[in-house]
Chain A
Amino acid sequence: MASIVEARGLLKKFGPLVAVAGIDFAVEAGTCFGFLGPNGAGKTSTMRMVCCQSPLTAGQLYVSGLDVRTQGRAIKALLGVVPQENNLDPDFTVLHNLVVYARYFEMPPDTARRRAYEVLDLFHLREKAHSPVRDLSGGMKRRLVLARGLLHEPRILVLDEPTTGLDPQGRHMVWQKLRQLREQGTTVLLSTQNMEEAARLCDWLVIMHQGRILAQGSPADLVREHVGSQVVEVPADAAPAIVGQLSRGDATWEEVEDTVYVFARDREALHRTIGLVPGATYRPATLEDVFLHLTGRGLTE
């Protein structure tokens, strides 16, 4: 399948600071592609370049076959952008926010109103159509920003931490809508720090750290390749004995402050190596384990 977004040697510097260190990636049309990484990893910088809002320092970046350096307006017409921070117009009602936004895409007024009600329905905001934006709750504002991003039926939806600030109900609703959109053929490009979001939504994930791509693949493959299927968290008092056994087995482990994390390919390997340790937590491996394993456990800023 053809790539709808393609980056080669994508580099972004802010003065001496390297935000994106010459990365390559390709997004297949009709999939959900996620950038996962701690703060300062370069996710937002990468997305801003895709959205033609930040010039490339070097490298190549094509969106739908168009060069971001020269065809910004044409590319932006294809994108639905949901920024990290809400930037709604506080002086307008919910409906008027959408109608004004539709003008920027040169949508005829009738189409604009019809589409506005469609996206309001999609995000359960129709009854708020005539409320001023400043009266909406945080979650409703977030939903409205998402609705606005879909107004012109974009081919590619670009979401920067879309569910930050939503309650669990809102988050699940948004996830369901995004899956639905992808099924209808929209390409979804998102950045997130939420492992559950990444695991549930993304077909392909790129884990970024300090401007580089550390690993990429489907969420399930990433877990299998980097941490196996089982994790045991061993508390400090039981740790010394375990570490002795571990050095003889085929599991990998990591000591972090007062806990030893043991990663194993499967349950049997684990039992052969350490057996049942009293006080230890046995659980399936998750994307969070991969993330922490690859990006380290120290604070990044």
Chain B
Amino acid sequence: MSRPSYRAWFVWQRDGDVFLRLWRSEAAGFLGEPLFVLAAMGFGLGAYIGQVNGQSYLSFIAPGIIAAYAMFGASFECTYGSFIRMEVQRTFEAIIATPLEVEDVIAGEILWGATRALLSAMALLVVLAVFGLVASPWAVLVPVAAVFTGFAFASISMVFTAIVPGINTFNYYFTLFITPMSFFSGVFFPLSGLPKVVQWLAWALPLTHGVNVVRAALRGAATWGLLVDVVWLGVVGAVAFWLALVLMRRRLIK
């Protein structure tokens, strides 16, 4: 295995170039859908719920939605997106015929996945700010949370992409891992209402920590404790990143 180099940025640039060409058709995914979920849940369900932890239900779930869609953005990019580039377009094959190695390609893809998470979170943040749902200057922490969440999920997704036999297998990843995660990470309700055991399990989920940071940031309730969340995301991301490099080399270099 070779170490990823600065050349990973060329792959990041390539993915960014594609995004700049196609962002109009992708905007529905990274902005439209979360806003629908937010409106439906916030206003619809919110009318029955009233306050959660001293906030309107809409204000409570808004940060959760930001973190969850950072997760979705990175995950889609590094599953379906990367898989198509790898197997259908054979883009990886074209790139590793140049001075780039597999590790550069995968690192670049993961960086781009994290960037997608950041773009998604920033777009939502702007919309929420327009509607007066961003109460504190601590909102500057949102991009940090989005990048760490994105890095963790881009890396985890890439591990999965390295081992799937075909594109349909991603259904398992989303229906059994990603979607359930969005329900057990404090996006839609506080974890404190769950049984203790489930709370512990939920704590291990990376998304829980993304949600924690974004929620604290939007409320202006930043504490040093948030560092733990960021570090946990970083640790999960780093382990998955390393694993993705190893497994991808095994898959692509024969």
B98 contacts partner chain A, Cβ-Cβ < 8 Å: yes
**Provided the pairs A54-B253, A87-B89, A89-B91 are in contact, do residues A77 and B99 lie with their beta carbons within 8 angstroms?**
yes
- Nearest residue (CB) in B for A73 is B99
B251 contacts partner chain A, Cβ-Cβ < 8 Å: no
Q: How far is the CA of A55 from the CA of B100 in the complex (A)?
A: 16
* A53 x B22 contact (CB < 8 A): no
B219 contacts partner chain A, Cβ-Cβ < 8 Å: no
Q: How far is the CA of A159 from the CA of B30 in the complex (A)?
A: 41
**Interface size bracket, B side:** 20 to 34
How many whole Å from B108's CB to the nearest CB in chain A? 11
**Provided the pairs A14-B254, A77-B99, A92-B21 are in contact, do residues A87 and B94 lie with their beta carbons within 8 angstroms?**
yes
- Nearest residue (CB) in B for A12 is B254
Q: How far is the CA of A100 from the CA of B99 in the complex (A)?
A: 14
How many whole Å from A108's CB to the nearest CB in chain B? 13
Q: How far is the CA of A91 from the CA of B89 in the complex (A)?
A: 10
Q: How far is the CA of A233 from the CA of B2 in the complex (A)?
A: 56
- Nearest residue (CB) in A for B94 is A87
How many whole Å from B63's CB to the nearest CB in chain A? 33
Bitwise interface map of B from 163 to 206 toward A, beta carbon under 8 Å scored 1, else 0? 00000000000000000000000000000000000000000000
Interface size on A, residues (CB 8 A): 27
**Provided the pairs A72-B101, A76-B98, A104-B98 are in contact, do residues A90 and B14 lie with their beta carbons within 8 angstroms?**
no
* A91 x B98 contact (CB < 8 A): no
Q: Which of B74-126 contact A (CB under 8 A)?
A: 89-91, 93-101
* B254 x A104 contact (CB < 8 A): no
* A73 x B254 contact (CB < 8 A): no
Q: Which of B21-66 contact A (CB under 8 A)?
A: 21-22
Bitwise interface map of A from 51 to 89 toward B, beta carbon under 8 Å scored 1, else 0? 101110000000000000000111011010101010111
Which of A55, A87, A89 is within 8 Å of B253, CB to CB? A55
How many whole Å from A157's CB to the nearest CB in chain B? 12
How many whole Å from B88's CB to the nearest CB in chain A? 9
Q: How far is the CA of A92 from the CA of B16 in the complex (A)?
A: 12
**Provided the pairs A76-B98, A87-B91 are in contact, do residues A103 and B13 lie with their beta carbons within 8 angstroms?**
yes
A224 contacts partner chain B, Cβ-Cβ < 8 Å: no
* A53 x B96 contact (CB < 8 A): yes
B18 contacts partner chain A, Cβ-Cβ < 8 Å: yes
Q: How far is the CA of A91 from the CA of B93 in the complex (A)?
A: 16
- Nearest residue (CB) in B for A145 is B94
Bitwise interface map of B from 7 to 21 toward A, beta carbon under 8 Å scored 1, else 0? 100100110011001
* A89 x B13 contact (CB < 8 A): no
Q: How far is the CA of A91 from the CA of B19 in the complex (A)?
A: 10
How many whole Å from B7's CB to the nearest CB in chain A? 7
**Provided the pairs A14-B254, A55-B253, A89-B89 are in contact, do residues A103 and B14 lie with their beta carbons within 8 angstroms?**
yes
A101 contacts partner chain B, Cβ-Cβ < 8 Å: yes
Which of B13, B21, B99, B254 is within 8 Å of A76, CB to CB? B99
* B97 x A79 contact (CB < 8 A): yes
Which of B10, B13, B17 is within 8 Å of A92, CB to CB? B17
Which of B89, B96, B100 is within 8 Å of A90, CB to CB? B89
How many whole Å from A42's CB to the nearest CB in chain B? 14
**Provided the pairs A53-B96, A76-B97 are in contact, do residues A103 and B10 lie with their beta carbons within 8 angstroms?**
yes
* A101 x B18 contact (CB < 8 A): no
* A96 x B100 contact (CB < 8 A): no
Which of B90, B96, B98 is within 8 Å of A105, CB to CB? B98
- Nearest residue (CB) in A for B95 is A104
Q: How far is the CA of A161 from the CA of B95 in the complex (A)?
A: 19
* B91 x A105 contact (CB < 8 A): no
* Chain B residues, Cβ within 8 Å of A79: 97
- Nearest residue (CB) in B for A81 is B97
Q: How far is the CA of A87 from the CA of B86 in the complex (A)?
A: 10
* A105 x B17 contact (CB < 8 A): no
- Nearest residue (CB) in B for A75 is B99
5 interchain pairs (CB within 8 A)? A76-B98, A87-B91, A89-B14, A103-B10, A104-B100
Top 4 nearest A-B pairs by Cβ distance?
Answer: A87-B90, A104-B98, A81-B97, A87-B94
Interface residues of B (CB under 8 A from A): 2, 7, 10, 13-14, 17-18, 21-22, 89-91, 93-101, 253-254
